[in-house]
Chain A
Amino acid sequence: MTSYEVELVAPGDCDVEGIDSGRSETITVDEDEYVLSAARRQGVWLPADCQQGWCTTCAAELLAGEVDQSDATRYYDVDREADMILPCTARPRSDLRLRICQMDELNDLRAANSLPPGRSR
C-alpha cells in the first residue's frame, strides 16, 4: 500500500480544529483513502457536510500534486482547471499540498460559470 504526505495549509481566516490558522499540518493518506477522512482520523477536523463530493463544503485548492477525484458526485472541468478539489472524495496520487477552507472561492467560481450551487448560496 502506497501512502502519501499531504500538507494542509490553513489561511488566516480558517478556523479548523487541529491546525492553527495561518499555519500548516502534514498528514499521511493511503492511496485508497480520501483526504478528508484521513485528516479527521489524524485530528485535523476539515470542514465537511455531504462527504459525497457534492456540496462544496470541504473545497480546497490543490497547490501541488495530483488527486483522483472520480468518486465526486458533482465535479466540473472548471473546478479541475482552477485546481479546486473536494477532499472528501479525493484520493492522493502523489504527495500533495492543499490550501483548505476554500468553499466560498469554489462557490464563486461555480456561480461565475452558472454552475451549482449557484448564486443563491
Chain B
Amino acid sequence: MSDDKPHASGSISPGDTSERVGMAVLRERGLDPEELREKLIDAIGAEFTTYYYYTNLRMHLAGHEDYKEITEDARLEDRAHFELVVPRVYELGGHLPNDIRDFADRASCPDAGLPVPYDDESGQLDITTLTAEDVLEVLLEAERCAIRTWTEICDMTRDVDPRTYDMASRILQEEIEHEAWFVELLSMERDGEINPAGHFVRGEPGDAPYSTNRRFNDSA
C-alpha cells in the first residue's frame, strides 16, 4: 500500500477499527452518538414489545375479522421497524441487551397489554368483560406513543444524521398511518362516528411500504 493515503483524513488513524468515522461525524456535528444509540434501543424496544403485545391483542379481537386484519398489518410493520433500526444500533457501537427482560423494561412506550385483570387464582386473564373497543383503545395509544418517539428522533437527527433520520421518518410515516387506522376503527366501534383513515390497503399483511428492511437488505 502506498505511504501516501489520500483517503485518510480526520482524527481516526488509517486502519484503526477501534473507532468509527460514522460516529465521529455525528459528534463533530454536535450529536452525541451514544445518546442517540441508547434512544434507538429504547425505541426499538417499544417496537419489539408492541409486536409481541399486538399478537395477543389481535387474538382477542375474535369475531372482528376486519380489526384483526388491520391489527396484523400494524403488528408486522412494528416488527419491520425493529428490524430496520437494529443494524443502526450496532453501527453506533451498541448492541441489544443480552436479557430480553432488560430490553422490554427499557422500551420507550408502555406495554400494550390487554386492559383486563389477571386472575391470580386461575392463572388466566379475566377476559369476560373485554370488548373490541377496549382493545382498539390500547392499539391507538400505542401508536400515539410511537409517533411521539420517532418524531423526537427525527428532531434529534434532522440535518445531522441522514441515515438515522431516513429510518425514523420512514417509520414515522407508518406509525401515523396506524394511528389513522385506529382512529377510524375506534370512532365507529365506540361512538358510531365515521372518521375515515384515508388509507389504501396494503399489498400483503405487514407490507411496511416505507420501512421494510428488504428494500435495503434482502438477507434481513
Contact = CB atoms under 8 A, between A and B. Distances in A.
A116 B106 contact: yes
Interface in A101-121: 116-121
A74 B104 CA distance: 13
- A interface secondary structure, majority: loop
A117 B106 CA distance: 4
Given A120-B102, A121-B42, A54 B97 contact: no
Interface in A19-51: 48-51
B148 A73 contact: no
Contacts of B135: none
Contacts of B106: 116-118, 120-121
Contacts of A74: 110
B105 interface: yes
B105 A54 contact: no
Contact of B145 (A52, A116, A117, A121): A52
A74 B105 CA distance: 11
A85 interface: no
Contact of A50 (B97, B105, B145): B145
Nearest to A53: B110
A14 B105 CA distance: 26
A51 B97 contact: no
Given A117-B42, A120-B97, A121-B42, A52 B105 contact: no
A9 B141 CA distance: 31
A55 interface: yes
12 contacts: A48-B148, A49-B39, A49-B108, A49-B148, A51-B145, A52-B110, A54-B108, A116-B105, A118-B102, A120-B99, A120-B106, A121-B38
- Nearest 4 A/B pairs, CB to CB: A116-B105, A120-B102, A117-B106, A73-B110
Interface of A: 48-52, 54-55, 57, 73-74, 116-121
